[in-house]
Every structure is written in structure tokens, then in C-alpha cells.
Amino acid sequence: MRECEGCAGLWVEVAAFEKICADREEQSAVLGTASPVPAHQAPSADIEKIRYVPCPQCGQLMNRINFARCSGVIVDICKGHGTWFDRDELSGIVQFIRSGGLEVSRQKEKNEIEFQREQLRTDQMLAGPRMDLLGLPHTDEDRIGGLSAAGGLLKFLIG
């Protein structure tokens, strides 16, 4: 971890952040060194302005994401190198994790995946081949071929 003395932001490499997310002792260390999150502080003009910052290691602009898609903490991530946390964002994430936020997020993702699977099954059933009286697949090509054969048989019989 590296800290910016000017803005109190933190750069945390990928492995270190994974350890913080998984290890309660690491979380306690983060909460112990973090300054308290100000209550109901009005956002300043600087906070409202969205800016993309470069990765301190590779210089590429990082992606801004809502941690766990529902934490409300927006962080800057370089997938290969690490995460930039503005002042108090890391402690906000630790508090989110400790309050069960990751489990809630995972359950929401599981529910969404199951919903999408069911939707896909329904779409496949509606779009799938129609069945004939014997329960065999019946496609438009089968129908055209059958009509053509019936027409040929009629010509032969009437003939």
C-alpha cells in the first residue's frame, strides 16, 4: 500500500486488496488507521466532478466501478495492478464487507444468473422446433417438403 499525503488517498496492489477483503485482521488494521467517515457531509464541487486517473504503475486510465456493484463506493481500478482509493473509500469498503455486503451482492448475482437462465429456457422453448402429432420436431422446411410431396402424390393419383 502507498498513501498520498496530499489527498489521503491509497494505492493498494491487487494481492493486498484481495487479502484485505478476505482477512478480518487486515480489515481491522484498515479500520484502525482510517480516519472516521464524516457524517452527512455535503459533496464539494471537486467530488461531484468525475475524473479518470492513471494507474501509478502503467499510466493507463483506470476504470471507475461501484465496488461489488452495490456498495455505493466508487473506486478506480487497474485490473492488472491495483486499486486507487480516495480518502475514506477503503474504510467504507471494509465496513460494507463486515456488514455482510459481499454476501448480499453474491446472492443478488446468483439470483440474476438464475433469472437469466430461466429466461433463456423460456425463449428457447418458444423459439424451438414445433412438434407434429407424433411428438417429432416439425420445422418450416419439413412442412414445405411435405406439401411438395403431397402435391406430387395428387398429380400421380389424378394423373
* Residue 51, pLDDT above cutoff 70: yes
Alpha helix segments (H runs only) across 34-100: 45-48, 89-98
In terms of pLDDT, which residue wins out, 44 or 81? Answer: 81
Average pLDDT over residues 70-76: 93
* Residue 60, pLDDT above cutoff 50: yes
Q: Is the pTM of this model over 0.85?
A: no
In terms of pLDDT, which residue wins out, 139 or 115? Answer: 115
Task: Round to whole Å and give the CA distance between 78 and 17.
Answer: 12
Q: Residue 102, Cβ neighbours under 10 Å: how many?
A: 18
In terms of pLDDT, which residue wins out, 149 or 36? Answer: 149
Whether 81 and 27 have beta carbons less than 8 Å apart is answered as no
